[in-house]
Amino acid sequence: MLSIAGSIFNALYLIVLGVLTVYGLHRYWEVILYYWTGRKGHLAPPEPREFPDLPPVTIQLPMFNERYVTVRVIETAARMDYPRRLLQIQVLDDSTDDSAEIARSTCQRLREAGHDIQYIHRNNRFGYKAGALENGLATAKGEFIAIFDADFIPPPDMLRGVIHHFTDPAVGCVQTRWEHINRRHSLLTCCQAIFLDGHFVIEHAARNRSGRFINFNGTGGVWRKSAIVSSGGWQHDTLTEDLDLSYRAQLLGWNLVFLPKLICPAELPPEIVAFKRQQHRWTKGSVQTAVKLLPSLLQKPLPLRVKVEAFLHLCSGVVYPMAVLLSLLLFPTFFLGGPGILFPASAVLQGTLLAMFIILTFSAGTFYVVAQRELGESWIRAILRMPMLMAVAMGISLANALAVFEALFRYHSEFIRTPKYGIQCDTPSNAWKSRAAGFRQKINWLPFAEIGLGLYLLLCVIAAVVLQRAVMCIPFLLIFMCGYLYVGILSLYAQCAPRRGKVNDSAFAPAMAG
């Protein structure tokens, strides 16, 4: 009976390790592709020709109950260095609280100052963000549409830095690189910044330079209006309308351009629950997009490299269920003899399994450390943060695994926005907590499950030490354990915190100016 159980554990472990190794190798390949394309002179898109006369641009600011950042983002858009006669601002507001009045009065004030600013308020959230963008597109005057989420602070020269890339008639969208105004506020925001830096600095750049598909990230970019319309417009049948539109546009032949040197700062979620909601939405939306578009994409006469990269990109959510299974299987598998129990006499198999495990262990570290090095950050500090980065990634894996299954089984869920707190570069690290009380949700079962997984792994560590079995797993068990406990306990604390409290707006004065 024990041997049967061991065989089952080993077979599952090999499947999980195999899938994760594929994505580990893909991380290495992206780093190699990044450097290889860089050496070939593709470090940045070629300098574009310039428009003899600047074209009209519409800035769209979608928002929903964003009282802490409403004024800041509208005023930032109005300060854009672009001729006023060619610039229209649309505030696409679905708010149901006092944010609506804040936005309306801010628009009125700027309109009186001579800005072409349109306040559009919907009484329902049909289509959520995609619905708001599509609704605004009907009255947009610009040939090009710039989109900024409410927490973004685009630099005044952004439009001038982007617009001339559209002199190439095949360019449908230009995406800038995100920067993070509160990257160093906490360990959690540091980890988030490193995650996103890897995506933008390595992933986006490598794909774009090598002619593979990339995606608009929903904000901090500019679209050609005709590209949106010809690609079917904004659609809301996935939670990642940006990814969906990006792939539909590229399937029609539009090119997307990524500008790594042009940055657009924004606020990272400082609270674990907000971070998990964001990751859940992104993961579920990417799987929904894969289900929607992959069949037709794979049938298109595209280069194999484009199809393979698109498949790995859209299906990357599969790593989360695999990560949860890995955390559950690691100890019992090695306690019962390890994968070699299936083929005990095969030295080749043992070497292969060891190589797979090494690839998996170091791939993420290589990927993110290279990204930090390219940004001029301390690569030594990045290496020291890798265990915590791995722990956070494992800690959110259960929530993201649920997102994958929700997408596959077509479970409907609302578009839950990421709360914004109006953080500035100099905002004290704990100042946002008084505002977070207004975003509390009822307690659910997920934090208890995460804590339960953490306690299970703690028992595995104790058993490994006491019984002196599977001791090579202990470092990984500790990382996984810390991740689940960290995320679970912080989530439970955030959900149990008081829903009401005195809000200290003095630390956020710039966000409330005007």
Q: Compute the average pLDDT of residues 235-247.
A: 97
Any idea which of 3-12, 95-104, 168-177, 410-419 has the lowest mean pLDDT?
Answer: 3-12
Active-site residue list: 94, 242
- CA 269, distance to chain mean position in Å, is 11
pLDDT at 42: 52
- How many C-beta atoms surround the C-beta of residue 49 within 10 A? 10
What is the average per-residue pLDDT within 431-441?
63
SS3 for 262-317, per residue? EEEEECCCCCHHHHHHHHHHHHHHHHHHHHHHHHHHHHCCCCHHHHHHHHHHHCHH
395-417 residue pLDDT tens: 999 999 999 999 999 988 888 88
Domain 54-298 fold is: Spore Coat Polysaccharide Biosynthesis Protein SpsA; Chain A (3.90.550)
Whether 359 has a pLDDT exceeding 90, the answer reads: no
pLDDT at 428: 64
What per-residue confidence (pLDDT) applies to 434?
A: 64
Q: 146 pLDDT exceeds 50?
A: yes
| Cβ partners under 8 Å of residue 484, min gap 6 | 327, 394, 395, 398, 450, 451, 453, 454, 457
Q: Is residue 125 a contact partner of residue 119, using CB atoms and an 8 Å limit?
A: no
Helix (H), strand (E), coil (C) string for 104-147: HHHHHHHHHCCCEEEEEECCCCCCHHHHHHHHHHCCCCCCEEEE
Q: pLDDT tier at 357 (50, 70, 90 boundaries)?
A: confident
Pairing of strands 144-147, 221-224: antiparallel
| 3-state percent breakdown (helix, strand, coil) of the chain, nearest 5 | 60, 10, 30
Question: By the 8 A CB rule, do 447 and 495 touch?
Answer: yes
| Cα–Cα distance list, 114 to 93, 97, 344, 485 (Å) | 21, 27, 78, 54
| Residue 90 three-state SS | strand
What does DSSP say about strands 87-93 and 116-121: parallel, antiparallel, or unpaired? parallel
Reported pTM: 0.91
Across the range 291-319, mean pLDDT stands at 96
* pLDDT tens, position by position, 160-204: 999 999 999 999 999 999 999 999 888 999 999 999 999 999 999
**Domain boundaries in the chain?**
54-298
Collect all residues with Cβ–Cβ distance below 8 Å to 465 and sequence separation of at least 6. Answer: 471, 474
For 313-320, what is the mean pLDDT?
Answer: 96
Q: Is residue 242's pLDDT more than 80? A: yes
Average pLDDT, the chain: 88
Going 286 to 311 to 146 to 183, the CA torsion angle's sign is: positive
Q: How many CA atoms lie less than 13 Å away from 85 in the CB half-sphere?
A: 2
CA separation (Å) from 91 to 71, 97, 99, 132, 148? Answer: 11, 15, 12, 10, 10
Residue 458 amino acid letter: L
Q: What is the pLDDT of residues 45-73, one digit of tens each?
A: 667 889 999 999 999 999 999 999 999 99
pLDDT of 334 reads 75
Residue 514 pLDDT > 50: no
Radius of gyration of the chain (CA): 24
**Packed helices 304-314 and 2-39: angle between N→C axes, nearest 10 degrees:** 130
Comparing 225 with 492, which gets the higher pLDDT?
Answer: 225
Of 499, 459, 415, which is closest to residue 94 (Cα–Cα)? 415
Contacts of 439 (CB under 8 A, 6+ apart): 271, 274, 419
Is the pLDDT reported for residue 41 higher than 80? no
pLDDT at 47 (0 to 100): 77
Q: Which residues contact 8 (CB under 8 A, 6 or more apart)?
A: none
State the amino acid at position 260 in one-letter form. P
In this predicted structure, the answer to whether residue 83 has a pLDDT above a threshold of 70 is yes
Pairwise CA distance, residues 293 & 244, whole Å: 8
Asked whether residue 283 carries a pLDDT value surpassing 70, the answer given is yes
Structure tokens at 5: 């159980």
Which pLDDT score is estimated for 451?
97
**What pLDDT is recorded for position 37?**
86
Q: Is 367's pLDDT higher than 60?
A: yes
